[in-house]
Amino acid sequence: MANLGKVPRIVFASLKGGVGRSTALCVVAAHLSRRGQRVLTIDFDLEAPGIGSMLLDEQELPEYGLLDYLVEAGLSNADDGFIAGLIGDSFLGSGGARVSVIPAIGRRTLEHPENALAKLARAYLDVPQESGAPRTITDQLSDLLARYDAFDAYDVVLIDGRSGLHETTASLILGIGAEVLLFGLDQPQTYQGYRLLMGQLIQYQSGTLDDSQDRITFVHAKASDSLEARSEVASKFQMLLSPSAYLSHVEALPTEQLTENDFELDWQDTSDLPDDEAEETQVLYVLEDTRYRQFDPILDRKILDARSYAATFSSLLEFIDSIVMDPLSDELEDQSL
């Protein structure tokens, strides 16, 4: 599926917290800003928000956040003033192009925390429409992204997705035409969980992973310096995108419910697969780096200096450049003709 917006959209997602997903998003935002890209970051992890507190000084926190937008969108059409008011400008912009942040939680909710859980419950509700088809939370996010596309104020959108196995994770992957980075540690529960997620994607796409596979890239978090060790882990992640690893299991299962017992963790030898399935997909990595265990760029802004993160995040940043910078180069070339 092609990108649905005018600018690249990149989703950062994971099954568990503590894998450095939000940290990686902040690093990518800093990197792109230094390269002259105007960045919009959105915290879609409503239940464990973090981007706002990582990238916004307290005085820059907007009155409303994404949670408020989702509640408001369920009641009425939010006007342009409300949409523009969701944004706070990050300190990262002082060293490059603008970096804007839509936090999950705005100042109003922080001042009245007793309303937060009620808002959260309402945010996930589908909104009835006269046509009969409900507007889902993914529809509402898509509408918001379209509004910002119309402003023509950003070159890339980075979205911090929620952790865990949830239907909104699958719909976020399929519903907004984004490139999706799935972060995970080299642990059995990582592979098992992502098998469940991929099984859900198969159901959405009538038994094929082909459409979404082109937009999904796994990121081996806290990876070893050893090339041999990273290669072994990469082969496990690559198998998660092989349709043959799922179809024989899924066809025999009831479609109502998938559980962790529906899939076995037996790694196949890709040498026996057809040529089109034997082709390896790229697996990125972020190196283990103790400096990022207590990540707080508000207190330690040097942690987002290029000299600090260049080596640790090099694999990820090269991939991001291929997504964001190449389309920009093509656009500039077209304008010069």
* CATH (domain of 58): 3.40.50
Q: How far is CA 197 from CA 164, 168, 181, 188, 327, in A?
A: 10, 11, 14, 14, 30
Q: Where are the beta strands (DSSP E) in the chain?
A: 9-14, 39-43, 88-89, 99-102, 156-163, 179-184, 216-223, 283-287
Q: How far is CA 55 from CA 61, 97, 144, 230, 319, in A?
A: 9, 14, 21, 30, 22
- Containing 211, the helix (H) or strand (E) segment is helix 210-213
Mean pLDDT of all residues in 134-152? 87
Contact 277, 240 (CB under 8 A): no
pLDDT category of residue 168 using cuts at 50, 70 and 90: low
Return the pLDDT at 163: 82
**23 within domain boundaries:** yes
Across 20-29, 43-52, 179-188, 256-265, least confident range:
256-265
pLDDT tens for 260-304 read 444 444 444 444 444 444 356 789 999 999 999 889 999 999 999
**Nearest by Cα to 172 from 124, 139, 209:** 139
**114 within domain boundaries:** yes
Contact 173, 11 (CB under 8 A): yes
| Percent of all residues in the chain with a pLDDT value above 90, rounded to a whole number | 52
**269 within domain boundaries:** no
Return the pLDDT at 110: 93
Mean pLDDT of all residues in 245-259? 50
| Percent of all residues in the chain with a pLDDT value above 70, rounded to a whole number | 78
pLDDT at 318 over 80: yes
Across 35-39, 51-55, 246-250, 281-285, least confident range:
246-250
Specify the pTM.
Answer: 0.84
Number of domains in the chain: 1
Q: Are strands 99-102 and 88-89 parallel, antiparallel or unpaired?
A: antiparallel
**Nearest by Cα to 105 from 174, 56, 168, 178:** 56
**236 within domain boundaries:** no
Boundaries of domain holding 81: 9-187+284-336
Top pLDDT among 173 and 157 is at 157
Rama region for 258: left / alpha / beta (φ>0; ψ in -120 to 50; rest):
beta
Top pLDDT among 102 and 2 is at 102
pLDDT at 220 over 50: yes
Mean pLDDT over the full length of the chain? 82
Return the pLDDT at 111: 93
**279 within domain boundaries:** no
- Within 8 A by CB and 6+ apart from 74, the residues are 122, 123, 125, 127, 140
**228 within domain boundaries:** no
**251 within domain boundaries:** no
Burial of 101 from C-beta contacts in 10 A (0-12 / 13-18 / 19+) = buried
- Highest average pLDDT, of 124-133, 170-179, 252-261, 284-293, comes from 284-293
**192 within domain boundaries:** no
